[in-house]
Amino acid sequence: MASTSNLRTRRSAAQLQALAGVEREIRAQDSHSRRKYLREFNQAFRSYDSLLDAQQIHDALHASDMVLIGDYHALPASQRFAASLLEQRAIPGDRPVVLGVETIFSRDQHILEEWWRREIEENEFRQRIRFDLDWGYDWAPFYQLLVTAREHAEALYGLDCMPREDLRKIGARDRHAATKIAEIRERHPNAVLFVLFGESHLAPGHLPRAVREQIPEARVLTVLQNVDALYWRAAGERSDKVEAVRVNNDTLCVFNSTPLEKYESYRLCLDQWSRCDSGPDFAPTIYNLIDSLAHFLDINRYSPHNSTQPKFLVDLMPEVYCSSSDSILRRSLLRKGMSEAECEAMLQRVEERGSAYFPQVNAFYVREFQMMHAAEDATRFLHHACQGLPQRVNGHAPVSQENPSDLFYARIVEHALAYFGSRVLYPSRPASQMPESIQFSRAACEKAAQNGVRTDFQKLDAAARAWGDHLGTILYDAYLAGKVGPSSLRRLFLAHLHEPGLARKLCGTLIAKARRFVRTSRA
């Protein structure tokens, strides 16, 4: 009878030969395999304790509160296996099942829920979560996983955050996902939580450790798929087909594909990406402006707490539409209760400025990129995000529904910060001047507020913009003179202007300080 080493050699020789050429081609296009984070995964799983059959896998799943499933994104069999596990575990009368996925950003949870409620169709869902632009792997098996979850699970969540392409931030993404998983467990305390995440995240010191730190009492099972070293080792077993192995007490690995199949799938993805030819994608540009301003203000995008930082700013990032998705944006605005006339008025701003930010749906629409206007609206988004995007997240009534004069003051502050941010990101923008007929003072602002209450919204907002742009100009001059620092500016962004009277108080204070700065500068 052949020895273990002979069996392994005979079963593996041809595949290893074919695999060598594929790996050379992959390495030429993807250098990430040499990064420390990925090496830690490859080094973590080199041997196993025992073989497992289907019943033992079933028993391990039923003994767990949480199942972390490793996903090789380019391999459809990985997503199909996750769907099969979910369907098997969703037994009527037993514990409910919840699914969390890396593929969808947490910031897009509202889109996922619209699809879950069948308010939007598959194509709109795929486009709005930017699946092909931000993910790019095969849609069909992933979508089938989501459909399986909608049919059998109690809920479905996106777990990931930006940036995916920067491995220096990958630890922050693990901690972010662990926090989201802990929140989901609080929301569904009786459910079994399935989590599908890229296999490299499942090294013991990566996502599993972050999850255990957040939820130490949970029984967590890690299910790997087709790990190379374990596959080659199992090739030496006398059994014709090894279904799975137990790596240790809380980790197992299943085999549903060969290494050659895995890497050929990835090579095909790389080839497809290299041939991709589409129109401009403005989202990375908009996100870069937001990130740059957040960095300037010393805002931690991954902060898990609301205090001197917005909670998980990375989850509040806006959707970005372009002209090809005009109809989708219109439908989204109409679902928010806007009339056709209001939609037309908002989209007219895009015609005039090239782009616009719509806080009602937390979305950018970019038809033509113009730095000055894009920078202003990126700042406008950040201001709304620092307040928790009250229209969508915190449930506060918009300030315009509480008191029209509060709206006037809040809009002045918003315009001032937006103008300031546009100057920080685009210093060549000219300074804004108040009309000579208007005295820049607190009393004059109070009078304008009283007059504004008796006018329509467009006139009210035009007056607020004139005051805000001029105040933003002075704020920028004060910043250049070293009189205002990032920490003070961050507090302005974080001020909760929905609270009655706060916008008026803050606006009056800013105007008084601006007048003192102007007098001092002239002296």
In angstroms, the CA 26 to CA 268 distance is 10
Closest listed residue to residue 70, CA positions, set 226, 270, 181, 180? 226
* pLDDT(276) > 80: no
> What value does the mean pLDDT take over residues 425-448?
81
Q: Report whether pLDDT(1) > 50.
A: no
Q: Once rounded to an integer, what is the mean pLDDT over residues 410-422?
A: 93
Mean pLDDT of 295-321: 87
Q: What is the pTM of this model?
A: 0.83
251-254/155-160 β-pairing? unpaired
Reported as a single tens digit per residue, the pLDDT across 39-65 is: 899 899 999 999 999 999 999 999 999
According to the model, what pLDDT value does residue 146 have? 98
Does residue 409 have a pLDDT over 60? yes
* 72 — pLDDT class (breaks 50, 70, 90): very high
Q: Kindly state the percentage of the chain with pLDDT values over 70.
A: 89
**pLDDT for res 277:** 59
Query: What letter does residue 14 receive in the DSSP assignment?
Result: H
Reading the block at residue 370, the tokens are: 């113009």
Query: What is the pLDDT of the chain when averaged over all its residues?
Result: 86
CA dihedral for 493, 496, 500, 506, sign (positive or negative): negative
Across residues 106-117, what is the average pLDDT? 96
Which segment of 86-95, 104-113, 159-168 scores lowest on mean pLDDT?
159-168
* Tens of pLDDT, residues 85-100: 999 999 888 999 999 9
**Alpha carbon separation from 392 to 109, 126, 302, 345 (Å, rounded):** 12, 21, 20, 21
Distance CA(401)–CA(321), nearest Å, equals 28
> How far apart (Å, rounded) are the C-alpha atoms in residues 406 and 505?
10
pLDDT at 12: 65
When comparing pLDDT for 356 and 26, which is higher? Answer: 356
Write the pLDDT tens digit of every residue in 457-510: 677 788 888 899 999 999 999 998 888 888 899 999 998 888 888 888 998 899
Q: CA Rg, the chain, in Å?
A: 27
Residues 53 and 87: their CA atoms lie apart, in Å, by 19
Segments in 354-481 forming alpha helices (H) = 371-386, 404-425, 442-453, 457-480
Residue 6 pLDDT grade (very low, low, confident, very high; cuts 50, 70, 90): low
Instruction: Tell me, rounded to whole angstroms, the distance of Cα 481 from its chain centroid.
Output: 36
Q: Name the residue with tokens 């569904």.
A: 188
- pLDDT confidence bin for 391, thresholds 50/70/90: very low
What region does 298 belong to: left with phi over 0, alpha with psi -120 to 50, or beta?
left
Tell me how many degrees the CA angle 403-405-406 measures, rounded to the nearest 5.
65
Inter-residue contact 355 to 364 (CB < 8 Å): yes
Per-residue DSSP letter, 430: P
Residue 156 has a CB neighbour count (10 Å cut-off) of 20
pLDDT digits (tens, 9 = 90+) for 205-229: 999 999 999 999 999 999 999 999 9
pLDDT for residue 457:
65
Q: Is 511 exposed, middle or buried (0-12, 13-18, 19+ CB in 10 A)?
A: buried
Split at pLDDT 50, 70, 90, the class of 329 is confident
52, 252 in Cβ contact below 8 A?
yes
What pLDDT, on a 0 to 100 scale, did the predictor assign at position 400? 45
Query: Shortest CA distance to 486 belongs to which of 494, 75, 87, 179?
Result: 494
Can you give the residue ranges of every domain in the chain?
Answer: 4-274, 283-522
pLDDT band at 18 (very low <50, low <70, confident <90, very high): low
Reported as a pLDDT band with limits 50, 70 and 90, residue 4 is low
Each residue's pLDDT tens digit, 346-383: 778 888 888 889 888 899 988 888 888 988 999 999 99
Residue 331 phi, psi dihedral angles, 5° rounding: -60, -40
CATH class of the domain at 4-274: alpha beta
Predicted local confidence at residue 274, as pLDDT: 74
**Cα–Cα–Cα angle for 249, 251, 255, rounded to 5 degrees:** 130
In 139-295, the DSSP E strands lie at 155-160, 192-198, 220-225, 244-248, 251-254
Given a cut of 80, is residue 437 above it in pLDDT? no
Which residues are CB-neighbours of 77 under 8 A, at least 6 positions away? 141, 225, 256, 257, 261
Note whether 414 and 380 are within 8 A (CB).
Answer: yes
